[in-house]
Structure 1
């Protein structure tokens, strides 16, 4: 009987808490949304399954302070989680994104980059909102990046500013908010098709949604090759702190566009980014143990994230409407493409395409929407660099 009692004492049934149940339900919701509705399955399935792993309770040996998952020193999950904590997963993901991205639509119509910049207003307003809610400046900076709808950038800046290791001049230790920030960022990225359409409809008229834009001009190979080189120099000089992200982004794009490194580009765009996505998703999910995730700070982060995403979408649409005031009738921009200025590539552009076809089955906006969409990726990385330069 003593042996049976010891067995039960070490089982998850004896150590489970309501917080674990709540977090596992969240994990089930992530898996349901990914499998049933195809909401960012490559992100939500690893994260959702990681949440289940991270919330299977175990007996805590007080003398050794043993913990499950990524918190157990020396465990495989703990070692893999260092890619999140140390911030080296996000640059590798940016390498893959660069190798997959075609910047032709942006090169053919550079003024659309302004829409990607306009959407970044969500980052800075969320930063101010986090300060107002009592977060320390470095924590607020990390939370603000959620407004860019860019998961890798959110993780990168969180690893620098909100990793629980920084000590402020007044002696306050910055909280470890990587898990809540990462989950919030990826959750709202997955919910792009749900969040953005109501905001777009609220801010545009039927007439504006029917605007037809001129087809993008053909872009030469020389322009495609020069773009990542010139883009790197310009953005890196503006925000050197963002170099690990934008440097890898433009490097990956050069591998693709040069035409002489197809094997490297294929590796970066397929097996490499897929591997890192799996490791990042499962470890971020496993870091969401109930005792460190279900806190007032996490609730505030999710509320700020929802508001920031709405603000970013509205900022992009408003930017397009303002630009139209200065453009001739034949050069007008469909304001809906401004919403794709957030960094959720290519989901946000697909939302705009779907909404455009719903209004007019012959009005294809995808290529136009990709311009602010990819510029949003660059913009969020630059914004992260600016915040790092002020807050580190």
Structure 2
């Protein structure tokens, strides 16, 4: 070959090895999805701390030829996201996230109003509705159990359950769970308004009683012992949640609580988010099975929100109109997003209404409830 032919061959090889030459419709669709999620996170402010890492992970893994998630082969090391993703695949990141969540959570409203537990439990109905729906669609019991947890709007719990029961569905389940968590401000208000009247939304609730520091310290210890003895399979998630909260409530460990709620939480959120996004390769994600999971997740979230509000209406009637049924919507596990939505919707009807602290009771109860529901599924279906 002469010099010109060598040069042209080099150009041809360069073109054929470029990402443009390897693009197909699947990659293009996933790149568009990633860009839409980035737009929603950056321009519209839909939970950017969650959506930006997830969307960028989707983008990176669907740029052909980059090899950022390549598997080790022939003595060659894997790509960066292959190793980062092991923390997700092995179920390490979700419990660590729960430490941070616990360190940022105030269980005072739940302790002050234990009836909030009922609202948190009612909102978990969506989990079991999605489970039954998945069975009807032909998923195996293990897959259906993992899909059902999406209804709790709890991303870490959904991931943890999927790694144990249906790792082949992890990408679709994780993206579905985190997407609906991020879209709480869009999905929940219409449902809340559908099931309540304007007069009910205007109800002002009495101020919660003060909770002593002793109660706040004893609560995570008692919950950890009780849940772990009753349902050992839920002990890891609930235990890490309560450990983080104990760090917060014990004054001598405030430095550890600060690390857990800030540095640790931020680091694990980045690693978990980008590895969740990286589990959505076009060839695995763009399937009818994924569409079914997304549909079931949305349906479960709607049912969970609706059942929480309806149980709130029941409690409103039984209390003689002292409980605003909107707080039932916060029974899903999206902390503190769901509680903020309750506050926003209630304040639209009555500007002097402050429901945030009342909504935090069902909200944190929902976190515990979804972890317990996951424990039930794991105890039945895990090998």
TM beyond 0.5: yes
Q: Which of 192, 213, 221 in structure 2 is aligned with 1:221? A: 213
How big is the shift at 1:71?
A: 4.1
Aligned residue in 2 for 1:132: 136
Q: Does 1:72 pair with 2:71? A: yes
* Aligned 1:342-353 pairs, distance under 5 A: 342-353=332-343
The more displaced of 373-382 and 3-12 is 3-12
* Aligned 1:310-349 pairs, distance under 5 A: 310-329=302-321, 332-349=322-339
CA distance in 2, matches of 1:213, 1:68: 55
Aligned residue in 2 for 1:108: 112
Q: Which of 208, 211, 214 in structure 1 is aligned with 2:203? A: 211
Uncovered stretches (5+) of structure 2, i.e. residues with no partner: 1-7, 73-77
Aligned residue in 2 for 1:44: 51
The more displaced of 23-32 and 2-11 is 2-11
Q: Does 1:296 pair with 2:295? A: no
CA distance in 2, matches of 1:149, 1:69: 29
Deviations 1:100-136 (A, max 9, x none): 1011111100011110000000000100000000101
Q: Does 1:28 pair with 2:70? A: no
How big is the shift at 1:20?
A: 0.6
RMSD, aligned α-carbons? 1.0
Mapped contact 1:69–1:287 kept (Cα < 8 A): no
Three-state SS of the structure 2 residue aligned to 1:134 is coil
Aligned residue in 2 for 1:143: 147
Q: Which of 341, 354, 358 in structure 2 is aligned with 1:364? A: 354
Aligned residue in 1 for 2:75: none
Deviations 1:271-324 (A, max 9, x none): 001001001111111221101110111000000011011000001011111223
Mapped contact 1:34–1:40 kept (Cα < 8 A): yes
Mapped contact 2:315–2:325 kept (Cα < 8 A): no
Three-state SS of the structure 2 residue aligned to 1:325 is helix
CA distance in 1, matches of 2:353, 2:119: 20
* Aligned 1:76-91 pairs, distance under 5 A: 76-91=80-95
Taking structure 2 as the reference length, the TM-score comes to 0.95
Uncovered stretches (5+) of structure 1, i.e. residues with no partner: 59-66, 164-175
Q: Which of 22, 25, 30 in structure 2 is aligned with 1:18? A: 25
Aligned residue in 2 for 1:169: none
How big is the shift at 1:238?
A: 2.6
Q: Does 1:263 pair with 2:243? A: no
Q: Which of 308, 311, 329 in structure 1 is aligned with 2:300? A: 308
CA distance in 1, matches of 2:18, 2:71: 17
Three-state SS of the structure 1 residue aligned to 2:175 is helix
